[in-house]
Amino acid sequence: MPSGRHAQGGFTYLGLIVFVFIIGLVGAATLKVEALLRRAQLERELLETGAQFSAALDSYAAATPRGQPRAPLSLDDLLRDKRFPNPRRHLRKVFIDPVTGKPEWGLVRAGEAGPILGVHSLSQATPLKQANFDMRFAGFENREHLTEWKFMAQETGAQVQPIAPVRPPVPPATPPEPQPPATPDPQPEPEPPQDAPPPEPQQPPGQDQDSGS
């Protein structure tokens, strides 16, 4: 029969296992929460970085001399605008994408090799933020990938077809069932014409006078 000391040691060991298990669950949940908070912070930084690109593209377009293109052909043109005798700077540097950690951006161009109208992240991750965007980021709601957050210029004068949100297909409407043709009500048969009574015989004129004489 086990002594009290051995039984107490067994309960202590079991309690230690439960304690370690609980600590592991709490630690895993804490790491997951920290990862989500970090991801949300990176998305906020991406929005602010993209806004600086949009502002630089607007500045480039607003400063366009007469007869010059209103949008740059490369991001380096935002660092040194060579349309002027003394190059101007519209962007301090080509920023690093906070999500990918690389100074590489997708470019939205007007045509295959046309001027740059906007930039976007190259990350295919699903954004945590899906709604309640600032007015600067209209059209960012309900996107499946961060690469769909396109930071566009507003002053270039060029138009790009926006990406429409994905909508479930609408099933075709069911045609109404054909109705049987209405049966006309039977019309009553016309009654045969009745014979008119024979006319009464009329007396010849002057007959009353002869009968009274």
- Among residues of the chain, what percentage have pLDDT more than 90? 53
The whole-angstrom separation of Cα 140 and Cα 132 is: 9
Q: Give the H or E element holding residue 109.
A: strand 106-109
Q: pLDDT (tens digit, 9 = 90+) per residue, 134-172? A: 999 999 999 999 999 999 998 655 444 443 343 445 556
Of 86, 87, 67, nearest to 78 (Cα)?
87
Q: What is the pLDDT of residue 12?
A: 73
Helices (H), 4-75: 4-62
Q: What one-character DSSP code corresponds to residue 206?
A: T
Which position has the token pair 């309900």?
142
Picking from 58-67, 174-183, 201-210, which range would have the lowest pLDDT averaged per residue?
201-210
At position 27, the amino acid (one-letter code) is G
Mean pLDDT of the chain: 79
- Take residue 129 and report the two structure tokens written for it: 């933020």
User: CB count, 10 Å around CB of 195?
Assistant: 6
Q: What is the pLDDT of residue 193?
A: 56
